[in-house]
Amino acid sequence: MKSSKEAVQSAAREFLHFVNRGVSPYHVVEECKSRLLKAGFTELKEAEKWDIQPSNKYFVTRNYSTIIAFAVGGLYKPGNGFSMVGAHTDSPCLRVKPRSKKTRMGCLQVGVECYGGGIWNTWFDRDLTVAGRVMVKSGDKLVHHLVHVPRPLLRIPHLAIHLQRDINDSFGPNKENHLVPLLATAVQEELETGCTSTGDACNATTTLEKHHPSLIRMLCGELGVEPDAVLDFELCLADTQPGAIGGVYEEFIFSPRLDNLHSCYCALKALTDSSTPESLAKDPNIRLVALYDNEEVGSESAQGAQSNLTELILRRLADTPQNVTAFQQAAALSYMISADMAHALHPNYQEKHDENHRPAFHKGPVIKFNSNQRYATTAVTASILREIAGRAGVPLQDVMVRNDSPCGTTIGPILSSRLGIPVLDLGAPQLAMHSIREMCCTSGVLQTTTLLKAFFELYPSVRSQVFVD
């Protein structure tokens, strides 16, 4: 696969627009929804009856942090397969506690909880803000509103080296005591408002008492609502520095949340680009993208990959009164790519990779293998993707962790075991995974999108030539 630098850069810049808007899982779903509507997809509701038609495109959300979009092939019949790509909308971050009000030594602070396995020392000395959703009472209705304050509000300052001489030898912050961002000083708040927030939220009985008034006022100002209308909220801390293209040859992407918005974007882009009337007309399958929340904390939620959401939707699409075993038939003909970022070889830590499995930038998406089923790839699923990649001209790499190294996992094994569907784990190579600022290569966006688009278009024909069971 040879692409012009202009095409690579264009794809990377469009991805950056996506990741810069996806500051929380709710904002990721909002951005996906906007793109799907523009591409002609119809929104469905779980609680309503569906009337699914061939050659049409749909999507549904759950908790507004998980979204499943699908395009029905023109030749689809109940019992035919599903061509699926799964990824996740969440990333490790700090989240505002339900009672966040803290006052220490004349400083107003916001209590936060660690979400996922972040590299927490990278959150120090960053210009932070908040983003997420706020539940508001509007008349008799309880409505959620998305909020993102674009300017820096919070900061977690380091302790000066003069007061901890060994910081460069070992830095392990206490996550409860040291990861508490500063919002304001009490003296400045008194000058600005004529009163000051004191104490904590131990005895608070209302939402307004659980958090610093200045934080509530900021949120209400963004939303245009009164403070007493705020019922509750779920807020992520986010870096205000946007993602950017870097390197002397502009070959890198420096950005937050590459894990896993890179995969979300490529999957969604591949689905919308491939689902043209001409392409769908000759497809016997349903093309589906599922972007789940809560992968970083185990997927055990109503909106996570461990839930019954995927099976419920697939059964709604497959089963009919005339064919009550359509889902079971479809499972055997289906295939899912679990798309989650892969560890590129770090030049400063070469010993961390097996010498024969060293993914590099620009050399293509990475197939992940693990005999202990931390990844779901098999020889069969790998062979199918290699055939598709060969036809699309996209290079592939392989990775397997060292025997003396722990191995992460993905939604792949979860969905493979829950659904009985063949799954392959795949990811674009990146560095600094779970840092507040991660790094990948620009070419990975176009390579992954091209591969996933080819998967949607070619999988049924390739599957028809597979002889195993």
pLDDT digit string, tens, across residues 301-330 = 999 999 999 999 999 999 888 999 999 999
Side-by-side strand order, sheet with 397-399:
42-44, 57-62, 66-72, 286-292, 82-88, 335-339, 423-427, 366-368, 397-399
Residue 220: pLDDT over 90? yes
Average pLDDT over residues 399-410: 94
Lowest mean pLDDT, pick from 181-195, 235-249, 260-274:
181-195
The mean per-residue pLDDT over the stretch 400-408 comes to: 93
Q: What is the pLDDT of residue 375?
A: 96
Two tokens at 438? 């991660």
Q: How confident is the model at residue 194 (pLDDT cuts 50, 70, 90)?
A: confident
- Average pLDDT over the chain, rounded to whole? 96
Which residues contact residue 2 at a Cβ distance below 8 angstroms, ignoring those fewer than 6 apart? 393
Paired tokens of 430: 């990146």
Residues 230-255, mean pLDDT to the nearest whole number: 98
Which residue, among 309, 276, 279, 271, has the nearest Cα to 292 in the 3D structure? 309
User: What confidence score (pLDDT) does residue 408 get?
Assistant: 92
> 3-state DSSP helix/strand/coil percent for the chain, to nearest 5?
35, 25, 40
How does DSSP assign 365-379, residue by residue? -EEE--TTSSS---H
Residue 198 confidence (pLDDT): 76
Q: Which of 61, 307, 421 is nearest to 70 (CA)?
A: 61
Q: Phi first, then psi: what are they for 40, rounded to 5°?
A: 90, 15
Q: Considering only 201-205, 224-228, 358-362, which range has the smallest mean pLDDT?
A: 201-205
pLDDT band at 178 (very low <50, low <70, confident <90, very high): very high
From residue 422, alpha-carbon distances to 348, 366, 383 in Å are 36, 18, 12
Selected residue with higher pLDDT from 3 and 277: 277
Nearest residue to 111 via CA among 129, 99, 128: 99
Would you state the structure tokens that stand for residue 188, as one six-digit string? 């400045």
* Whether residue 189 has pLDDT greater than 80: yes
pLDDT at 469 exceeding the cut of 90: no
Whether residue 120 has pLDDT greater than 90: yes
Determine the residue type at 375.
Answer: Y
DSSP H or E run through 135: strand 128-138
List the alpha helices (DSSP H) in 104-193.
186-193
Neighbours of 412 (CB within 10 A): 27
Where does the pLDDT of residue 32 fall: very low under 50, low under 70, confident under 90, or very high at 90 and above? Answer: very high
Q: Give the residue among 169, 181, 173 at the shortest CA–CA distance from 118.
A: 173
Q: What percent of the chain has pLDDT over 90?
A: 91
> Tens digits of per-residue pLDDT, 407-444?
999 999 999 999 999 999 999 999 999 999 999 999 99
Residue closest to 317 by CA, chosen among 307, 327, 306, 302: 327
**Residue 208: its pLDDT value, please?**
87
Q: What was the pLDDT predicted at 2?
A: 66
pLDDT tops 80 at residue 1:
no
Widest pairwise Cα distance in the chain: 77
What confidence category does residue 170 fall into, taking pLDDT thresholds of 50, 70 and 90? Answer: confident
The pLDDT value given to residue 395: 98
pLDDT of amino acid 428: 98
- Higher per-residue pLDDT: 172 or 151: 151
